Amino acid sequence: MHPKLNTRRLLWSVALLSGLSAAVSYGQGTAPGVPPVAGVVQLDPKTGALLVPLGGLVTFDPKLGPKEVLTDIIVARDDILAVRLDPNNPGKLLMTGRAAGLTQLSLVVQGRPRLVYDVLVQPDLNLLRGLIKRHVPTAAVEVSPGVGNVIVMSGFVATPQDADVVERLAITAVGSVQNVINAVQVGGGQQVQIDVVVASVDRNMLRQRGFDFLARGNSFRFASVVSGLLDPTLASQTPDFTAIPGGTFLFQGGVPAQFLGALQALRNEGIAKFIAEPRVVTQTGRPAFFRAGGQQAVISGTSGITGPGVQLVPFGTELEVVPVVYGNGMIWLEINPRISAVSQALGINIGATISPGFTEQQVRAAVMLESGQTFAIGGLIQNSVQSSSTKVPFLGDLPFVGTAFSRVSHEQRESELVILVTPRLVAPLNCEQVPGRLPGRETRNPDDYELFLENILEAPRGQRKVWNGRCYNAAWKSSPTAAQFPCAGNVNGGAGCAGGNCGVGGGNLGIIGPNGVGMANPAVHAVAPATSVQAVPVTLPPVPQPLPRAGSPVSVPGTPGSGASPEPAAVEPAPISLPPVAPPAVVIPTVPQK
């Protein structure tokens, strides 16, 4: 045969064999009968149960000896766990989780007691733990299984945003929010005290001017009652004084005509101040509510048996807040303070029933700040002016003369409101830090002598001796804190009053003598005759002299027992001793004493 033909046949044979081997290799890689790779079963460190993932496959090695033969496998609930022998290693078992739950696995071994294991089938929490560690690396969250297809999360995160991410990952793992028990807390201080200050000031000024008059003669009658100060029927009667609302100046006269006039020129000023400082303590992430006030009955839409229905509406000072402490110490607040009060002016009349209204100041805000910082979350400055003029046409427009035929009212209102909030991280008090006396417990009820003769409504706790010989002891001196507070006017340099050191020169202002003057030290209050004060010699310190210029000799006056000699300019001058100077006499003038 030709050699070229043999070469071609050989090449075709090699190609055919290569294709067949590739096909066989491809078919073996996708054979459906080969089992997937199985993991190793895990042990619960707390209970020692075997952990099998739901829908997963794991291997379990009971660690049997070489001569021990496994004769039977018993599963308490086949609907939860499926167990079979490993075909590659008969000494191991393959376990598959069918449903979430707890069951028991019993292995019967020839020649030894039965081996019993608790098996817990749960969702694959390792995947969830890996996702949490990847997306929230700063979180310290522990994921544990619950009853059924339920997982429990506990631990701490740095921010509320991290807590929301962890919760969403857990919901996607189990498929329902009802199957997630979230006990994750935001790190940081757990107790927060919220101080809120609501301060408001209302000012109003009302100016009114009006003039009414009635004139009556023998042949005429003339009246102007635009301001409503006089009764128009008086024009046909004999003029007389009548009750005029608001307080005015009246005058009457005129001969032969009779005249009655009423002038109103008022200026009313008013001011109202309000300040509220509610405080509340709550745990981070937990809402808190505070109310100090009452409930006002108003008419409701439902009817009662004997009349209209009644609804109770709360009023007063309210505070609703939700604080969240971040891991870096910042505090996030969602706060809603509300101040309301009953106002009859805003009420309505329904038949013979009056339903009151309410005035309200409220703000809702969300802020973030550190512990101890103050934030002004709301404020209001409101000015309103209302003016009105009532006058007779043409006559009321005349300058000066139109005052008698017109009425003017001008009202101006100013309102200022500011709301401050201050959060603080706090901790409970120790037993030695609890205040010994609460408000109202630091005083006692007065006895008959103190109530009827001294007009004292409450007295400090402690024994009291009203009369100390001829001196009267005030009630406040029996208080145990009298020595801790300065006297009135701080006349004793801040010393306490209980020791009798108040007053000039140690006199006690709380003790009254027969002449009505504080006389703890009678010598201080005695009137001494005016005498001249002797001159007190005063020794003044020596006055330093200026140093001489460079290159000039220094002349120093001699002192007793020593002489003076010039010093060269190039040498540092010696200390200068000055002669004593006779000081002038100081005379203190006479001080009159009481």
79 pLDDT above the threshold of 60: yes
Tell me what pLDDT residue 353 has: 76
CA–CA separation, 155 and 31 (whole Å):
46
Return mean pLDDT, the chain.
Answer: 75
CA distance 250 to 466: 58
User: What pLDDT is recorded for position 207?
Assistant: 92
What does the pLDDT look like over 573-593, one tens digit per residue? 555 566 665 655 655 656 556
Residue 233 has pLDDT above 90, yes or no: no
Does the pTM surpass 0.85? The reply is no
Residue 333 banded pLDDT, cuts 50, 70, 90: very high
Tens digit of pLDDT for each residue in 465-493?
888 888 888 888 877 777 776 555 444 34
* In the predicted structure, residue 423 carries a pLDDT above the cut 90: yes
CA–CA distance, 290 with 169 (Å, rounded to integer): 36
**Strand pairing category for 57-60 and 39-40:** parallel
* Alpha-carbon gap, residue 143 to 181, rounded angstroms: 10
Q: How far is CA 318 from the centre of its chain?
A: 13
| CA–CA dist 455, 465 (Å, integer) | 17
The residue type of 437 is R
**Inter-residue contact 293 to 342 (CB < 8 Å):** no
Cα gap 332→194, rounded to integer Å: 11
Least reliable range by pLDDT among 52-66, 238-252, 568-582: 238-252
**Taking 90 as the threshold, does the pLDDT of residue 271 lie above it?**
yes
pLDDT of residue 300: 80
Using alpha carbons, list the distances in angstroms from residue 213 to 250, 262, 388: 10, 6, 21
DSSP-assigned beta bridge partners for residue 308:
303
Name the percent of the chain lying above pLDDT 90: 13
Q: How far apart are CA 84 and CA 156, in angstroms?
A: 41
Name residues whose C-beta falls within 8 Å of residue 390's C-beta, 6 or more positions apart in sequence: 226, 227, 406, 407
Map out the domains of the chain with their CATH numbers.
Answer: 39-122 (2.60.40.1080), 125-188 (3.30.300.20), 274-426 (no CATH), 443-478 (no CATH)
pLDDT confidence band for 53 (50 / 70 / 90): confident
Q: Are 484 and 504 in contact (CB under 8 A)?
A: no
User: In angstroms, how far is CA 230 from the centroid of its own chain?
Assistant: 57
Poorest-confidence range of 222-226, 239-243, 282-286, 382-386?
A: 239-243
- Low-confidence winner among 5-9, 144-148, 581-585 (lowest mean pLDDT): 5-9
Res. 22: pLDDT tops 50: no
> Is beta strand 115-122 parallel, antiparallel or unpaired with respect to 50-53?
parallel
| pLDDT of 3 higher than 80 | no
In the predicted structure, residue 321 carries a pLDDT above the cut 90: yes
Q: Of 513, 539, 522, 529, give the one whose Cα is nearest residue 592.
A: 529
As given in the structure block, the two tokens for residue 214 are 């009635």
**Residue 524: what pLDDT?**
37
How far, in Å, CA of 387 to CA of 208, rounded? 10
The DSSP-derived string for 81-124 is EEEEE-SS-TTSEEEEE-SSEEEEEEEEETTSPPEEEEEEEE--
Query: So what's the pLDDT on residue 485?
Result: 62
pLDDT value, residue 45: 81
List of residues 6+ apart from 292 with CB closer than 8 A: 278, 316, 317
Q: What does the alpha-carbon distance between residue 503 and residue 488 come to, in Å, rounded to a whole number?
A: 9
Task: Give CA–CA dist 127/131, Å, rounded.
Answer: 6
Q: What is the pLDDT of residue 29?
A: 42
Spatial separation of the C-alpha atoms in residues 34 and 190, rounded to whole Å: 56
User: What is the Cα–Cα distance from 418 to 421, expressed in whole angstroms?
Assistant: 10
d(CA 508, CA 519): 7
The pLDDT assigned to 566 comes to 47
Q: How far apart are CA 280 and CA 278, in angstroms?
A: 7
Between 299 and 488, whose confidence is greater?
299
Q: Which long-range contacts (CB under 8 A, 24 or more apart) does 240-247 make?
A: 246/208
pLDDT band at 572 (very low <50, low <70, confident <90, very high): low
Share of residues in the chain with pLDDT > 70 (%): 69
| Res 411: pLDDT | 93
Q: Which two tokens stand for residue 586?
A: 């100081």
CA–CA gap between residue 472 and residue 289 (Å, rounded): 51
pLDDT at 562 over 50: no
Q: State the amino acid at position 518 in one-letter form.
A: G
Report how far residue 413's alpha carbon sits from residue 386's, in angstroms, rounded to the nearest whole number: 9
The owner of tokens 């929010």 is 177
Q: Which amino acid is at 459?
A: A
User: 287 pLDDT exceeds 60?
Assistant: yes
Measured distance CA(338)–CA(289) in Å, rounded: 11
